[in-house]
Structure 1
Amino acid sequence: MPAGKAPKGARKAAPASGSDRIGALPDETLHHVLSFLPAQQAVRTCVLARRWLHLWKSATGLRIVGADGEAPVPFEEVREFVDSLLLLRGSSPLETFELRVAGDDIDVRRVRLWVRYAVQCKVQVLRLSFLGNAHVGPVARLRPDDPPLASRHLTKLELRGLVFNDDFLDFSRCPELQDLHIQDCSLEHAERISSLSLRHLNIRGAFNPSSRARILAPNLASSVLLTFGRTPVLQKMPLLVKGTVGIRGLCEDLCSSPAPNYVSYVDFDKSCRGCIRDGSACVILRAVSQAEDLVLIASPDTIHLLEANVQIKGRFNPNELPSTISSHVKEVEIICGGVDGNVLKVLRFLSKLNINLA
């Protein structure tokens, strides 16, 4: 081998102090680093040096967000930019695609094409956030003919500010989806949320006040459901370890029968307009009965609390448990702002289980 020549494929020596240390990193590392930048800034790196000219095209993540990396960017400011970006970028695989935009006139048809592009690039994590100029309420509406997502690679989906149609939340064509987060969205037209692969579910939004949606996710390990409107029916979740269910104000599940059962945590009276009528015994409790850590929350607007503060802890006598209560439960804790007739009904129910109050 001639003197002074390194073997073919050998790594270059570390650059001298003061030289371009970042530029000396392998392309794969730089593609990953660029994925953390807002897309506008990632593209601008093409002017740094000849080597950087095309690196942004292979960034493993695209973030269409504000300049600070957190705030939403006005939709009108990035509409043409994103169109050109996706055209020039080609079909390099994506790990993450994040779109966080604001505006009262968001072009959902254009957004749909952007999402389709991300899916074709085998995106694994998809984040969509739409805010109005006042940052209040859902602003992006999916039409009834918008099909559900279909991806063999998607593992995490985060949605904010959407108005769903009745089919979009059917994830049967996303067999690897593990995490689903829905925040500040309208689920009034969503009749069903279903996924056999889902492990973690977090929903904070409004369901239809006059009809009851259903959630089918039998393999959930954790769930958070904070909602108002008509509480959705939860199908059985035998693998659930940790669950939180919160019924906020404007709840439509207060029982109006002469002998009320109240909030939809327990059985329903068939004579009540707010009760379930399809023969199911309950909406929530039976589905989450296997959870080891379970939190049930009702806001003061839902259960009127009038008297002194109360904090109660108790332990079950396992020999007295009814079939609707999991044998895994070891301790019950009740915290409320006051005691009225509703709370007393709960206490009487718990007293039948031979709970020792702390």
Structure 2
Amino acid sequence: MPQTSRADKSSKSCHEDRLSALPDDVLHQVLGFLQADEAVRTCLLAKRWRYLWKSMRRLRINGSGGEWWGSTDVFLTKFVSCLLLLRDPGSTLDEVEIEYANHFGDDHTWISTWIRHALSCQTQVLTVKFPLPVHVDRYLDGPPLVSRYLRRLEISQVRLKSNFLNFSSCSTLEDLKIKDCDLYASSILSQSVKHLSIKDCFFKDDVRISISVPNLVSLQLRSYGGRTPFLESMSSLETAVVSVEVWSVNYCRKGFFAGECCGTCLDCCGNGHGCVLLGGLSRAKNLQLIAHPEMFIFRRDLRWCPTFSKLKTLLLNEWCVQPDLRALVCMLEHSPVLENLTLQLCKQEKPACAVEVEENPGLVEKPAAISGYLKIIRVKCEDVDGRVCKVLNFLSTFGIEITIQRTKG
């Protein structure tokens, strides 16, 4: 019987293509970790790989670092268009990521076409990024998106126009993230979205955009510019974080320097809205309301303050204690089941802010309608200055232990 040496066995093992012997589903998973141009080039590896790229279920059209960025923008457009058109027509897509730098042109119409083609392939997760300098005009426009399969959508660094934010025809969309975008639409609509995140975006400053997402469970509205959007009712809301930064156009022209709402000017009463934010947030169980002291939008809303009938955990920053404690008192009186209160206070710049508290003794008395469930009070501050002392004096009337935590600026 012929003997096979160990070296012969090793040589045979080295030439054996074990990777190609794997099932198609496994190989498609492997291709999904590659950028699209790299995945297509695997067709040269062996006969087994020749057409695998046509049916892979995850596409990463991501050019940062890919070889095509040294070529022309026209080449990239043709490559992606062919990639989508030459796919196996019977193959669906689970996930598509499009990162389009577009350094060489201003035509973004192809992006909208690619997005709609991806949705026609039953894509469940879609990510669209435009990593461009801020001076480059980039936008997505056209009719509303339509999909019965899309579950998660992330869009960043682009201007969204017209009906692009109407997701009424995306019946299974639950997770929507929008970042670093200019929102030039009249509304954001969805009956299915449960988790909405809008960060570092700019809203139109001539009218209020309406956010109508009635089945929302969690909301993050952070560091936006332009005019604050109008939040419609969200009966299933559990957690919300709203942060209003200084570059928002929402300020009272008469009371700007005091950070107050005059209650009479167009900014305070205009646009046909009562509560802009707080009405839509009134069913939340956990709520964080953060604003620069000069931004008065929360204090404006308190003129029509709703009852937060489910609110258990509340975090506020210094907007609620400037120039006095009226805003804090109002929030507490309208939170009948509140259990956990956190105040996050920055270092006081103008010691005169709390003078009005001394002139109104009633503001440092325990509110008559304070929640009987309130058990935890935390005060986070950089320094225990005069303003913090007055806040602590007010909170001490509740007869509840207060935890003070020092923070860095």
TM-score (norm 2): 0.69
Alpha carbons of structure 1 residues 191 and 276: separation in structure 2 relative to 1, 3 Å: farther
1:32 paired residue number: 29
The alpha-carbon deviation at position 292 of structure 1 amounts to 2.9
SS state at 1:164 partner: strand
Q: 1:274 matched to which residue of 2?
A: 267
Assess if the C-alpha contact under 8 Å between 1:128 and 1:158 holds in 2: yes
Q: Which has the larger radius of gyration?
A: 2
DSSP-derived class of the 2:178 partner:
strand
Tell me the SS of whatever aligns to 1:331. strand
Deviations 1:133-186 (A, max 9, x none): xx326732234xx10101111111111122122321111100100111111111
Write out aligned runs for 1:250-261 (5 A).
250-257=247-254
Return the alpha-carbon distance in structure 1 between the equivalents of residues 339 and 145 of structure 2.
Answer: 37
Counterparts of 2:150 and 2:269, CA distance in 1: 34
- Over 3 Å counting, the alpha-carbon distance change for 1:172 and 1:349 in structure 2 is farther
2:365, 2:44 → 1: CA distance?
69
What is the distance in 2 between the residues matched to 1:154 and 1:200? Answer: 14
Question: 1:204-223 to 2 correspondence within 5 Å?
Answer: 204=199, 205-223=201-219
Letter of the 2:278 counterpart: L
Q: Structure 2 vs 1, CA of residues 142 and 256 (structure 1 numbering), >3 Å: closer, same or farther?
A: same
Q: 1:326 to 1:245 in 2, by over 3 A?
A: farther
| Unpaired runs of at least 5, structure 1 | 1-15, 304-308
Flag the 1:211–1:296 CA change in 2: closer, same or farther, 3 A.
Answer: same
Equivalent position amino acid for 1:182 in 2: I
Question: Judging changes above 3 Å, is the alpha-carbon distance between structure 1 residues 350 and 110 closer, same or farther for their aligned structure 2 residues?
Answer: farther
Identify which of 147, 153, 156 aligns with 1:157. Answer: 153
From the superposition, tell whether residues 328 and 41 of structure 1 become closer, same or farther in structure 2 (CA, over 3 Å): farther
Following superposition, the deviation at residue 56 of structure 1 comes to 0.9
Q: 1:78 maps to which residue?
A: 76
Q: Following the alignment from structure 2 to structure 1, what is the Cα–Cα distance between the partners of residues 280 and 232?
A: 5
Could you say what secondary structure the match of 2:21 adopts?
coil
C-alpha separation between the residues in 2 aligned to 1:213 and 1:276? 16
Q: Give the letter aligned to residue 113 of structure 2.
A: L
The count of aligned residue pairs is 322
Q: Is the 8 A contact 1:208 1:229 kept in 2?
A: yes
Q: Distance in 2 between matches of 1:64 and 1:346?
A: 59
Structure 1 letter corresponding to 2:178: I
Q: 1:48 pairs with 11, 24, 45, which one?
A: 45
Determine the C-alpha separation between the residues in 2 that align with 1:328 and 1:59. Answer: 51
Could you tell me how far apart the structure 2 residues matched to 1:251 and 1:343 are? 22
Q: How does 1:321-332 map to 2 (within 5 A)?
A: 321-323=332-334, 325=335, 327-332=337-342
Partner SS for 2:243: strand
CA spacing shift, 1:294–1:53, aligned 2, 3 Å: same
The residue type paired with residue 189 of structure 2 is S
Which position in structure 1 is the counterpart of 2:379? Answer: none
Q: CA deviation at 1:261?
A: 9.5
Identity of aligned residues (%): 36
Provide the C-alpha distance between the structure 1 equivalents of 2:203 and 2:256, rounded to a whole number of angstroms.
Answer: 26
SS of residue matched to 1:248: strand
Structure 2 gap segments, 5+ residues each: 1-11, 297-316, 322-328, 358-362, 371-393, 397-401, 404-409
Take 1:299 and 1:285, find their aligned partners in 2: how far apart are those partners?
17
CA–CA distance in structure 1, aligned partners of residues 112 and 18 of structure 2: 40
Alignment correspondent of 2:227: 230
Aligned to 1:275, the other structure's residue is in SS state helix
Using the TM superposition, give the Cα deviation of residue 87 of structure 1 relative to its aligned residue in structure 2, in angstroms: 2.1
Q: Which runs of 4+ in 1 moved over 6 A?
A: none
- 2-structure distance, mates of 1:257, 1:147: 41
